[in-house]
Structure 1
Amino acid sequence: MEAGLRSLELTVRRRLDGLLQGNHVGLLPGPGSEPGEARPYQPGDDVRRMDWSVTARTTAPHVRETVADRELETWVAVDVSRSLDFGTADTDKRHLALAGLTAVTQLTVGGGNRIGAVATNGAETLRLPARGGLVHARGLVRRVATMPSAPEGVRGDLAAALDQLRRPPRRRGLVAVVSDFLGEPEWERSLRALSGRHDLLAIEVVDPRELELPDIGTVVLADPETGRQREVETTPLLRREFAAAASAHRDRVAAALRRCGAAQLTLRTDSDWVADIVRFVVARKHAWSGGGAGRGRPA
């Protein structure tokens, strides 16, 4: 477990490190404490902010502006329900969810930033307080990775995990949601309630067999959360109907996330998920750089 998590962290860090530096605005009220630009002194300015070096060079009194502290608080809601114990390609969805969590921790840790998590399997909820530092970030990923699956018959409850991020109210920051988003979007109301105070990122993990069935004759399909099974014949008609239903479901999820104002990153078990994350981050950084003044959007 330790070797696997360390390898995962190194893989993410090698490709993503440094992509998001400085991409969020100050989150603390008031003038802050970081040094900014120097400007000529004006009557009423605090003399304690006099910049004597600039004053000496220009022979005119100058004060040094300050900017808000750039501290970001990130919370990650992680769905670790039984439906993630599935994968038919290069990896399974649970590993992919951990990869998404690791990427978020690597992109936000450092600089006084803090990260916390709420993980749920439907039967129990793991709450990890927001703290700073790489040691805490590694421990957070480890605790989520070792969280057991729920007993058979227990469905995940993403909405309950999101509600825990609303109470008590938390300082403005970034909320990332890692899930396969199967089932109806009953979590939409909870996620939308968070959008008024936080920037939102949804990381969807997908396996190709959830999108279309192969032509393999008779197959037994099982619901990993309820344990129900059904034997079906993968006829052309069934495969078309299955693909259409899967596409319609993903459209509903995407529409719900858009209504909540969440950026969506999709990771597939049959693709280069690191490259997908890099493309997403670079695109978000480019969009942020071209944005106007006002509240920044963490990539």
Structure 2
Amino acid sequence: MSVSKESANSLQNAYSPSAGLSNQEALKLLFPNLSFLTELERMRIRAGNRIKGLLAGKRRSSSLGGSQEFADYRPYSSGDDIRRIDWNVYGRTGKAFIRQYWDEQELQVSLYIDVSQSMAFGHSDTNKLQYALRLAACLGHIALCGDDRISVRLFRDTIIRELQPLHGRVSSSKLFHFLADAMQQLERDSDSSSPAAIKKFVNMAAPFQTAAALPRRSGSAWVLTDAMFEQGIEETLISLTAAGQQVVLVHLLSPEELSPDLSGELKLIDCELGTGKEVAIGQKLLHEYRSAVAGFQNELKSICAARGASYIFVDTGVSLEETVRHTFLSSHVLNS
């Protein structure tokens, strides 16, 4: 593929950065391979049903309007614009019918990123939190380039940070700066937190229980999480679905979690609760662990299927480009 840097350069020039990161640093933090931006601009977030939005866009909505895509006929009524009468039909039937068209509007895309303590697990090149923020940058840029509208919320036990809705390709600069700043700040918080200072967060539904945490209009909601909660996963899907969202649950795990390289007498610490447990790790226990992880993935997949949500598993050991190009496209949540 021939690499064009035009998109990356235009985004760098569009930045109005806050103190800390320069334009180039923010982009490189989120996109180690800047040429991938060009490829993302050709993709679109898939919307399965007709949608309703606020602004004109490129999506077919459930409302009828003035686009050029034909929807249906209806009988002429007094006061209708006679320019919309189909005279060919009138010539065949002797009756006047009005042509109706689908109104084209934008898709509302809501990105929810789990920033709880367990998301910080993983080596620097497989860290789940960094991976999730980079995925959000990809998804947000795809949406904005497709004339869709996006919002971003970072959550723990509450929504801790929020980016108000953005629209238009030029807004990608604000999105990238928000995510890059969050990445640096969350890394600093994680490094400075002592086990005693960690706030216990075991109920995923907690941050979604307020109306302000939910999208105000129907659209597509993406939840990026490692799903390491004692409860609340299904309740979260119910809340988002009730808010008119087509939900995509992106389940991230690191290679160290999928196949841990551990052996001997160890004390394992729960990074969310701060509690520990001494265990003797051998091949039998590792086999049981891998079976439990696979069982948990299947359970999440079943919960999503029952609630009409899409489930996508992501191994953070796989490159970001491969996840977007293959995993997301093959799951039919993106169109190329």
Give the TM-score normalised by the residue count of structure 2: 0.70
User: Contact 1:81–1:155 (CA<8 Å) still a contact in 2?
Assistant: no
Which whole-Å deviations, capped at 9, do the CAs of 1:239-297 have from their partners, x for residues lacking one? Answer: 22322332233332222222222212222122223212222343344x99xxxxxxxxx
Change (3 A) 1:45 1:19: farther
Which residue pairs with 1:35 in the alignment? 68
For 1:291, the equivalent position in structure 2 comes to none
Whether 1:145 aligns to 2:178 is no
| Structure 1 residue corresponding to 2:133, chosen from 95, 98, 102 | 98
Candidates 143, 147, 171, aligned match of 1:108: 143
Mapped contact 1:110–1:132 kept (Cα < 8 A): no
The structure in which a higher percent of residues are strand is: 2
Give the conservation status (yes or no) of the 8 Å contact 2:204–2:229: no
Output aligned runs, 1:136-215, within 5 Å. 136-148=174-186, 149=189, 151=193, 152=195, 153-156=198-201, 157-164=203-210, 170-196=216-242, 197-215=244-262
> Following TM superposition, by how much is the alpha carbon of 1:126 offset from its aligned partner in structure 2, in angstroms?
1.5
Q: Which amino acid aligns with 1:163?
A: Q
- Hey, what does 1:17 align to over in structure 2? 41
Give the deviation of 1:46 after TM superposition: 6.2
When residues 42 and 121 of structure 1 are mapped into structure 2, their CA distance, relative to the original with a 3 A threshold, is closer
Task: Tell me the distance in 2 between the aligned counterparts of 1:154 and 1:230.
Answer: 19
Q: RCO higher in 1 or 2 (8 Å CA, sep ≥ 6)?
A: 1
Q: Structure 1 residues 22, 273: CA separation in 2 closer, same or farther (over 3 Å shift)?
A: closer
**How far is the alpha carbon of 1:165 from its aligned partner?**
5.8
CA distance in 1, matches of 2:77, 2:287: 73
* 1:1-299 aligned within 5 A: 3=24, 5-7=26-28, 8-9=30-31, 10=34, 12-20=36-44, 25-28=50-53, 30-37=63-70, 43-44=76-77, 48=81, 50=83, 65-88=100-123, 90-122=125-157, 125-133=160-168, 134=171, 135-148=173-186, 149=189, 151=193, 152=195, 153-156=198-201, 157-164=203-210, 170-196=216-242, 197-285=244-332
**2-side partners of 1:31 and 1:147: how far apart?**
45
Q: Output the aligned Cα RMSD.
A: 3.7
Give me the whole-angstrom Cα distance separating, in 2, the residues matched to 1:209 and 1:266.
15
Contact kept? 1:89, 1:269, Cα under 8 Å: no
Describe the SS at the equivalent of 2:261: coil
CA distance in 2, matches of 1:268, 1:142: 21
CA distance in 1, matches of 2:250, 2:44: 17
What is the deviation of 1:105? Answer: 0.3
Structure 2 vs 1, CA of residues 111 and 169 (structure 1 numbering), >3 Å: closer, same or farther?
Answer: closer
DSSP-derived class of the 2:164 partner = strand
- Which whole-Å CA distance do the structure 2 matches of 1:19 and 1:207 have between them? 26
How many angstroms does 1:143 deviate by? Answer: 4.8
**Paired letter, 1:102:** A
Residue 109 of structure 1 and its aligned partner are, at CA, apart by: 1.1
The one-letter code of the counterpart of 1:115 is I
Q: Secondary structure at the match of 2:121?
A: coil
Instruction: Report how many residues are paired.
Output: 287
Higher alpha-carbon deviation: 171-180 or 154-163 = 154-163
Offset at residue 147 of structure 1 (A): 4.6
